[in-house]
Amino acid sequence: LEAASRSRFCIIAQGDPGNTAKVMETVALGGAGGCIPLYVLYTANSPQRPPVEQDFVRDLPHVRWLDYCEIAYFVSHHAARTNMSRVVEILADVTAEQAEAKFRALRAVRPAFVYRRNSSFERPSAAEFLLSDACHMARRA
């Protein structure tokens, strides 16, 4: 985590469902001023796409209300695998203002990714957000 907090970007490679701890940790770390998440995703027509029963993006935490494009960058697995130098060039061109906008958005959503013992409805933490999402899903079923 120390190395990640000194980096501008944190790479999150697809391979697990979107609701894994690495997603929660990188958003929480970014919200604390660490690094901006960079999601590497398989595209639907990618020949290397592993058989995955669940959709990574659909299964991201809080996707019902959180626009991940505001807090992270995305790159296709193909681009990362075949032209990572170009991906690095594009990321190097991210301005300080663009990065600060991502960090502001990460700070705003961080409470939904961090558990606190003294949370409340006025100051919710991850538990309250998860319960709210679960209630929403139950109502739709």
Those residues whose C-beta lies under 8 Å from the C-beta of residue 40, and which sit 6 or more positions away, are: 11, 12, 13, 14, 75, 76, 77, 80
In 3D space, the residue among 48, 29, 52, 13 whose CA is nearest the CA of residue 102 turns out to be 29
The string over 103-138, giving b where at least 16 C-beta atoms fall within 10 Å of a residue's C-beta and e elsewhere, is bebbeebbbbbbeeeebeeeebbbebbeebbeeeee
**Which pLDDT band holds residue 121 (cuts at 50, 70, 90)?**
confident
pLDDT in tens, 18-35: 556 788 888 988 999 889
d(CA 41, CA 54): 13
Q: Give pLDDT, residue 53.
A: 42
d(CA 115, CA 22): 15
pLDDT at position 16 over 60: no
pTM over 0.95: no
Those residues whose C-beta lies under 8 Å from the C-beta of residue 120, and which sit 6 or more positions away, are: 128
Higher pLDDT, 86 or 4: 86
CA end-to-end distance (rounded Å), the chain: 38
| Paired tokens of 112 | 């939904």
| 38-42, 44-48, 73-77: the lowest-pLDDT one | 44-48
